[in-house]
Amino acid sequence: MTYSPTVIPLPSDQSDQAGEVLGRAFADDPLMSFWLPEPTQRHKHVPRLMHFVVRYSLIYGIVETTSQGDGIACWLPPGEVNYHYGSLLRTGWLPIPFHSGLRNYARMLINDDHAHLMRHRLCPGLHWYLWALGVEPAHQGQGIGGRLLAAGLERVDIQGLPCYLETHNLRNLPIYQHYGFEVAEESTVPGYMQHIWGMLRPAQGN
């Protein structure tokens, strides 16, 4: 029997489970390996980061999951794509630099600053931002990520706006290209050989 995932809003009382799913999905992502090169430390602290991403997106954006809870998509809408210190503190960012180590955090901060500058340059107007999309590793390859992505893009298209994301994983490019994203820029994090691709999906005509 073919699994056809149903996309639903994430209930707020399931935010911890959603963070764990994303933590496992991104445990060995190139960005996370760049942030935390030591695997044991990475597998411990990536879920903490993803708990923050989910909490933040529940307050300032939209988090969607499947009826089985095996995939998570975090979206930030126009007007909320630029976070500030107050919102970071409210959603639990403060402990992350200390848990991961200040040297590791400094490296991640360089990446984040570079990514934000890329996005502002490539997509300066109103747009949606796909912050995180991940699927439970044991359930990948079943169309779950694609269903979550398609559901979110339906909402974007109703508003007639572009959508932006960045990825550090070369293997993700054809997946997003299948859904209309284009590589707007390929870059490297200053001072490092860590690649980052800024991907833009132009506003779709109605």
Ordered mean pLDDT values, 10 residues apiece, the chain (206 residues) = 80 95 95 93 92 94 95 95 80 84 90 94 96 96 94 96 97 96 96 95 84
Strand order in the sheet with 182-188: 7-9, 62-66, 71-76, 128-135, 163-167, 195-201, 182-188
Task: For helices 39-60 and 15-25, give the axis angle rounded to 10 degrees.
Answer: 140
Element (H, E) at 75: strand 71-76
> What does pTM read for this prediction?
0.94
125 — phi, psi (to 5°)?
-90, -170
**Lookup result for tokens 């630099």:** 97
pLDDT for residue 92 = 82
pLDDT for residue 2 = 57
Count of Cβ atoms closer than 10 Å to residue 14 Cβ: 16
**Lookup result for tokens 């903490």:** 48
CA distance 72 to 50: 11
- Delineate the domains of the chain, giving CATH numbers in brackets: 7-160 (3.40.630.30)
SS3 200: strand
pLDDT for residue 110 = 94
CA distance 160 to 153: 10
